[in-house]
Amino acid sequence: MSDLWATETILADLIAHPTVSSEPNRALIDHMANILDDAGAKVDVYADPTGAKANLFATLGPERSGGVVLSGHSDVVPVTDQNWTTDPFRMSAWEDALYGRGACDMKGFIAASLAMAREFSHKTLKRPVHFCFTHDEEVGCLGAQALVPELAEREIRPAIAIVGEPTEMRIIEGHKGCCEYTATFTGLEGHGSAPDRGVNAVSYAVLYVTRLLLLADQLRGRAPETSKFDPPWTTINIGRLAGGHAHNVIPGWAEVQWEMRPVQGSDAAFVKDDIRAYVERDLLPAMREVHPDADIVTEVIGEVAGLEPMSENAARDLMAELTGATKAELVPFGTEAGLFQEIGMSVVVCGPGSIAQAHKPDEFVTREQLSQCIDMLHGLGAQLSA
């Protein structure tokens, strides 16, 4: 059986598991664990508290540091209200393309990695190859955020991570982080003719937003001189401001939904520390002087670390050798890559398929792209055996 045929066969099985983020992924994780176990890998499955979701981490080769992680997420986005011409959870082929939900994002990379596992097992690997498959990437990288601390505590730690998001096999060395928050303001309602007797939640929300806009302006001056991002600075976006009921009622509730896209971790800390201090020092005391139960509560919707471009990056150098690419690029979308970088690993994003197909109806990956990925994995096996 050719490697491409094996990859297609595995991909069909992966697509047949409808692992939308709102649904369990445990059956798929167990299926992939069996494939890796049959190849002789040491397999660990980490279930979440419900038991319905799980991460997988498996290793082939010697028990030593310095290996390479092949990483992918097992969940997919919904197909609800999308106009598919085929069954999204049954792989179909047309000419060079393989269709199905998750075909490129990112079960194609996972299928190629699993197909190559047995070949890796037949080599005398001098450095290990690891397989890391997670849950709930599409809703905040929840699985990776739970798994990465586990990896950080291990005595034996990989040196390089290849995150196989669809990049058309281009090497990606950086992307911004994504931090999303909802701040809820609880004031005191009253008649609009006596504003001093109430606590206007909307007014304080506006002050909060004004502070965020001031910080957004300050972030422009914090952009690293070497930043390759567009724009090169950390950005803040106010996505939603809501509250109140009528013209003549002091609103007792308001909500601000906002996000930050940091180019460096220090910017995220700068913004969070400043807005927290502003709330505790200025806003809350003024609100509670009128109404002791007034409050501002900030909910973290998700904090996904960015992948910061590094002047020295062993993962980038390795992938350049394996793919023949002469440059590395940046992308606007987020991945799990920054979480691996935070624990000291060299990381790149590189995988088969185009992000232009991800999340859309009739999602597909081409056989040509899968073949390029398989060639890269062949080269990786030779590198780890040398």
317 is catalytic: no
Termini Cα distance of the chain: 26
Active-site choice (137, 138, 173, 267): 137
137 is catalytic: yes
Active-site choice (75, 138, 267, 336): 75
Query: Which residues are designated catalytic?
Result: 75, 137
